[in-house]
Amino acid sequence: MTIHRGGWRIISAIWAVSILLIYLIQHFIDCRFVSYPLFALIFFFMGFVIFFFRVPSRRIPDGEGLVTAVADGEIVVLDRVFEPEFLKRDCMQVSIYMDFFNVHVNFWPISGKVTYYRYHPGKYFLAFLPKASELNEHTSVCVENEAGEVFFKQLAGTFCRRIECYAEVGKDGVRGKQCGIIKFGSRIDMYLPLDADIRVKLGDEVRACETVIAHLGGK
């Protein structure tokens, strides 16, 4: 396991503040029944910040046409929808909801060329609400190869105020490599061709890079 490259600045700042708080508590609060629980909370938070920015090692399944999960989390939407922004056709939408304890680093679902990228400022509704897909702050990315194309969105949520996306139009993405991060919980919407063989169902817990969401081109 490694730490996400964008996390070190936040980790350093939080640890610096935490150490200052520990110093102040130690010198100004004499009651151990107060100071010890405070120390425990601070140490827990310091550890959680490192845990939050973890980048785990994952096994990437072999196979042509496989679409793997962009993020860890739960499948909360699995439905046929019309995608109006870029694809402009009916697709299968697969949405993954991340909570605070999931890995928040995102990974390319397929290998291929980035054909579309756009950042959308927006609101911060709860990420599992249907309207969040259109109204919340999000990025939109499409990546394409010989088997087909996958369009996906990184959506901000109520507590998320930072989305990072590494997509650049014309550049290549590699399945299982990092494509960005959504900080403090949110959602990924994936839009797949109608003839894709969907391999997950509502309520499934998925793991980025490892869980096969679909096979492009059918079975």
Establish whether 186 is a catalytic residue.
yes
Burial class (CB in 10 A: 0-12, 13-18, 19+), 93: buried
Number of H helices, E strands in the chain: 3, 16
Measured CA to CA, the distance from residue 167 to residue 141 in angstroms comes to 7
Cα torsion angle, 26, 32, 36, 42, sign: negative
Residue with tokens 């290549």: 172
Residue type, 124: Y
Residue 106's nearest CA partner among 146, 62, 36, 162 is: 162
The residue from 95, 133, 140, 186 that is catalytic is: 186
Query: Which tokens is 192 given?
Result: 């797949």
Q: What are phi and psi of 20, to 5 degrees?
A: -60, -45
Torsion of Cα atoms, 57 then 63 then 66 then 68, to 10°: -10
Which residues are known catalytic residues? Answer: 186
